[in-house]
């Protein structure tokens, strides 16, 4: 019987070994358990089980099986090899659990050798890292401020004063069903622009949701001018509700400010009065108006915009210049919108003739009597009436200063007027699509501004109905930074009232930590697509039907699979759900045209996944290496072609490593990836992109295995890994010395005058350090030297350059006014470059060319502070 059991155990082990080699670890484990049960005194099945446990990241279980196996081993040379293997596995498992004493105990029992010595060095280094006295809040604050995108030479973001998409409430019956009983409904609008979606949502919510539930709306935009303009809008809405006498003027002024380039004098006066009231409150460090919260640290920036609307900006352009600009440029509008505009016969005629929209005729005589007579003469086609009316407009009407960005005009001058190239009716039509459908059906010649005014009147009346229930939080920041700050609990928010030191800025608001719905607009079009959306959004998202991430695209994607393939390198819906814990809401077709449509992704299961739901190791490594190569070596494309930017920098890869660790991918898998990339070579079946846009069939392709050099990015990667190390949810076990210690990470700046070129606002620029002593002149075509695959240059000189010729940094801040690039880098690399007289220049990854001349590094470099100084008390 014993012989039979032994034979059966061996057969089970052999079946397990076959399954193990195929990567079917769960099935292999079952066979090994059978083998162990049939031969309880045999350590081999237990050793096999410890190997399976280690490979699947179950390090505690690995140690337990190894301990049991060791207890069954008999002393003697025959078992020494297995004993050493088990102890080595135990030591590594202890390391991945950060159990350093236990790891050392296991290492003490091993025969000395290189691998043992390397592990001892790793234990020592990990102990030092573990004992590093950093302050978590300082660490988080510094990390979230690191650039997420490649640098733009023109560091002043573009001002989108008019929204591009069709306005729609995000408050739906589905959302009410899942969140109706929650005490607070929380919604975030990113890239809020003219707040069109906010207004529709407030209107829909106030009409349909009665009771005590509160509504918290967070409005995010990276331009303080957007927040300032929206504050003017909200102030006018509140005034219209509170003051019957000024209601019509307030609402018509709001309508003009919302859509027009040129405005009547009474509108200009009302807007200036509103700006004055806002400044008066903000200068006293009060909140700008009721229902609104503006973070204390952002008040000065918004005040600067409001003050600019009272300064030299007002006289920068004459009304005649702006009217001529609008007339000479094809102001943008869709054909369907222009067809609808034809219904407004008077408006169409006057806009074509004067590039302005006139007030509704029933209000004109009371608001602007001088214009009323001239307009009547024009309508009856009296001789000379058109010129008299035009002269009047040039003399009395004003430029809508809320669409003028002082910073952009100081830098770009007349080029900044691009923002005016939008037809006022296009703004109205895209805001009031449903309301204007009646006009489309019945015809008529009502004034289009009357429709805008009527809409804002409804919003105004319903806004005050939400008094005590509605909070509008306005944040000037990058969308991704806001989401990440919220995830880590470091978003700038006030203390609750009722405590010591209350100020006017203290609130009774219950700030949401999670959101029912996050409206991303089309920001992902420009900054990383679904990858950015799914890395930053789900951690602060609530789960429920009708909730989720809502995003659209204004680019030419074929469908949602195409969009996801380009950014996620993944299109299978089940894989996406497993790896990013979101699923496409019901009602969306994966094959329908993606253009202009909003897709909503609901949060699905969260937390660690079971191992059988994860990708096999080979597929996982190929996918992550493909992401790294795509970040480092995007495919060349003409600048600004459809605005398809390769904007992400290597911090995205770090966040991807964090996400994969949280999902349950084994720490030693991820550590091996870090090790390979840090050493500068990877053997992989992935490749850098071979087209501007990646389709599903392309991202699924498995190439022949090849060793690829990625040394130019290793200095930056190792710096970033070391900075993020304590936030990575697994122990990063790499050879000692591969990553720099905190005191050897330094913030530097270099002063490099920029060169004029088209599209300086594209996030496509990098910093390149060049070994000028060995290779005096960088090649014109940088793509040929960075690309180490079948398409890259095979010239020996190019291969040598990849090894020791240059370093590339993607995580760089650039200030255009001072021509200063600031970055973090390990000091040993910097000191080596200084000794060898390297140069530095700015390159760009859309054309893979040099943007600036090369400058001797030693003459332009400034050392600022160390990472240790930055994150310790």
Domains of the chain in start order, with CATH, are 2-130 (1.25.40.10), 137-160+614-873 (no CATH), 222-477 (no CATH)
- pLDDT at position 38, please? 93
The structure tokens listed for 378 are 């024009």
- pLDDT at position 504, please? 45
- pLDDT at position 494, please? 79
Q: What angle do CA 665, 728, 103 make, to 5 degrees?
A: 80
Q: For residues 337 and 427, what is the distance between their CA atoms, to the nearest angstrom?
A: 9
Q: For residues 187 and 201, what is the distance between their CA atoms, to the nearest angstrom?
A: 10
Assess contact for 466 and 215: CB atoms under 8 A: yes
Q: What pLDDT digit, counting tens, does each position of 606-651 carry?
A: 788 899 999 999 999 999 999 999 999 999 988 876 668 899 999 9
Q: What angle do CA 424, 418, 250 make, to 5 degrees?
A: 40
For residue 87, give the nearest of 588, 79, 439 by alpha carbon. 79
Distance in Å from the first CA to the final CA of the chain: 69
Q: For residues 762 and 231, what is the distance between their CA atoms, to the nearest angstrom?
A: 29
Assess contact for 19 and 11: CB atoms under 8 A: no
Residue 337 neighbours by CB distance under 10 Å? 18
Q: For residues 50 and 9, what is the distance between their CA atoms, to the nearest angstrom?
A: 17
Q: For residues 413 and 417, what is the distance between their CA atoms, to the nearest angstrom?
A: 8
Give DSSP secondary structure letters for 484-507.
Answer: HHHHHT----PPBTTSTT--TT-B
Q: Which stretches in the chain have pLDDT values below 50?
A: 441, 498-506
- pLDDT at position 331, please? 72
Distances (CA, A) of 711 to 69, 716, 770, 805, 838: 42, 10, 13, 9, 16
The structure tokens listed for 333 are 């509008």
- What is residue 725's DSSP assignment? G
- pLDDT at position 669, please? 98
**Where do we find the tokens 């700008």?**
288
Name the packing angle between helices 114-130 and 80-96 (round to 10°). Answer: 20
Q: For residues 574 and 568, what is the distance between their CA atoms, to the nearest angstrom?
A: 13
Q: For residues 691 and 714, what is the distance between their CA atoms, to the nearest angstrom?
A: 25
Residue 710 neighbours by CB distance under 10 Å? 25
3-state helix, strand, coil in the chain (%, to 5): 55, 10, 35
- pLDDT at position 502, please? 44
The residue ranges of DSSP E strands in 82-204, in sequence order, are: 184-190
Q: For residues 428 and 436, what is the distance between their CA atoms, to the nearest angstrom?
A: 9
Give the helix/strand (H/E) hosting 306: helix 299-308
The structure tokens listed for 671 are 């550590």
């Amino acid at each position: 019987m014993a012989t039979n059991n032994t034979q059966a155990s061996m057969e089970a082990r052999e079946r397990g070994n076959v399954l193990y080699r195929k990567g079917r670890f769960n099935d292999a484990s079952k066979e090994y358990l059978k083998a162990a049960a049939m031969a309880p005194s045999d350590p081999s099945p237990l050793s096999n089980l410890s190997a399976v446990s280690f490979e699947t990241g179950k390090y505690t279980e690995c140690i337990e099986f190894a301990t049991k196996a060791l207890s069954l081993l008999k002393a003697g040379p025959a078992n020494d090899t297995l004993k050493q293997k088990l102890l080595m596995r135990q030591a590594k498992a202890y390391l991945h659990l950060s159990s350093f004493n236990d790891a050392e105990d296991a290492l003490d029992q091993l025969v000395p050798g290189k691998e043992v010595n390397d592990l001892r060095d790793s234990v020592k280094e990990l102990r030092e890292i573990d004992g590093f006295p950093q302050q978590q809040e300082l660490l988080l604050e510094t990390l979230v401020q690191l650039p997420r995108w490649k640098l733009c030479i023109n560091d002043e973001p573009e001002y989108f004063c008019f929204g591009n998409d069709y306005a729609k409430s995000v408050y739906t019956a589905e959302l009410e069903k899942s969140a109706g009983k929650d005490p607070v409904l929380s919604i975030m609008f990113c890239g809020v622009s003219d707040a069109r979606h906010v207004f529709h949502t407030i209107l829909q919510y106030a009409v349909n949701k009665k009771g005590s539930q509160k509504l918290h709306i967070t409005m995010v935009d990276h331009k303080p001018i957007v927040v300032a303009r929206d504050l003017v809008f909200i102030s006018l809405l509140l005034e219209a509700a509170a003051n019957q006498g000024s209601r019509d003027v307030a609402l018509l002024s709001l309508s003009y400010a919302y859509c027009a380039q040129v405005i009547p004098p009474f509108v200009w006066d009302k807007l200036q009065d509103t700006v004055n009231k806002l400044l008066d409150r903000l200068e006293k460090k009060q909140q700008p108006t009721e229902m609104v919260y503006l973070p204390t640290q952002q008040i000065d920036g918004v005040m600067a915009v409001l003050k600019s609307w009272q300064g030299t900006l007002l006289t920068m352009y004459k009304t005649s210049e702006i009217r001529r600009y609008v007339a000479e440029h094809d102001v943008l509008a869709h054909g369907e919108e222009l067809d609808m505009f034809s219904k407004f016969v008077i408006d169409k005629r006057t806009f074509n003739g004067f590039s302005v929209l006139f007030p509704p005729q029933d209000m004109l005589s009371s608001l602007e009597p001088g214009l009323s007579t001239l307009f009547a003469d024009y309508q009856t086609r009296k001789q000379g009436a058109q010129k008299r009316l035009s002269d009047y407009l040039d003399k009395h009407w004003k430029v809508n200063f809320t669409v003028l960005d002082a910073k952009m005009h100081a830098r770009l001058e007349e080029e900044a007027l691009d923002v005016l190239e939008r037809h006022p009716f296009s703004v109205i039509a895209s805001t009031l699509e449903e309301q204007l459908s009646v006009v489309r059906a019945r015809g008529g010649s009502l004034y289009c501004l009357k429709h805008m005014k009527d809409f804002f009147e409804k919003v105004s009346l319903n806004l005050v109905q939400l008094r005590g229930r509605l909070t509008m939080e306005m944040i000037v920041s990058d969308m991704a930074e806001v989401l990440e700050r919220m995830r880590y609990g470091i978003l700038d928010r006030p203390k609750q009232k009722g405590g010591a030191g209350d100020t006017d800025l203290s609130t009774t608001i219950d700030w949401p930590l999670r959101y029912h719905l996050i409206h991303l607009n089309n920001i992902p079009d420009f900054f990383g697509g679904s990858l950015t959306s799914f890395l930053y959004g789900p951690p602060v998202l609530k789960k429920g039907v009708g909730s989720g991430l809502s995003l659209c695209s204004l680019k030419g994607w074929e469908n949602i699979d195409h969009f996801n393939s380009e950014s996620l390198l993944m299109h299978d819906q089940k894989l996406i759900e497993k790896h990013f814990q979101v699923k496409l809401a019901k009602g969306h077709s994966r094959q329908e045209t993606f253009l202009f449509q909003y897709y909503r992704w609901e949060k699905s299961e969260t937390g660690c996944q079971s191992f059988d739901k994860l990708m096999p190791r080979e597929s996982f490594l190929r996918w992550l290496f493909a992401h790294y190569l795509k970040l480092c070596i995007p495919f060349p494309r003409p600048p600004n072609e459809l605005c398809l930017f390769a904007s992400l920098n290597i911090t995205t890869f770090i966040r991807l490593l964090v996400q994969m660790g949280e999902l349950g991918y084994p720490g030693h898998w991820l550590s091996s990836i870090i090790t390979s990339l840090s050493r500068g070579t990877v053997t992989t079946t992935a490749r850098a992109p071979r087209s501007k846009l990646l389709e599903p069939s392309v991202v699924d392709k498995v190439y022949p295995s090849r060793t690829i050099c990625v040394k130019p990015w290793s200095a930056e990667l190792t710096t970033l890994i070391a900075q993020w190390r304590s936030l990575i949810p697994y122990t990063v076990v790499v050879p000692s010395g591969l990553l720099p210690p905190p005191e050897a990470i330094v913030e530097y700046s270099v002063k490099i005058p920029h060169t004029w070129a088209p599209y300086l606002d594209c996030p496509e620029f990098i910093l390149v350090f060049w070994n000028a002593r060995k290779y005096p002149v960088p090649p014109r075509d940088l793509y040929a030297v960075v690309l180490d695959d079948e398409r890259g240059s095979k010239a020996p000189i190019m291969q040598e350059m990849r090894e020791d010729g240059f370093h590339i940094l993607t995580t760089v801040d650039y200030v255009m006014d001072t021509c200063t690039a600031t970055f973090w880098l390990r000091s040993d690399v910097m000191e080596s470059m200084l000794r060898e007289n390297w140069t530095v220049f700015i390159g760009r990854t859309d054309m893979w060319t040099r943007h600036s001349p090369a400058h001797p590094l030693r003459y332009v470099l400034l050392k600022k502070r160390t990472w240790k100084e930055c994150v310790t008390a």
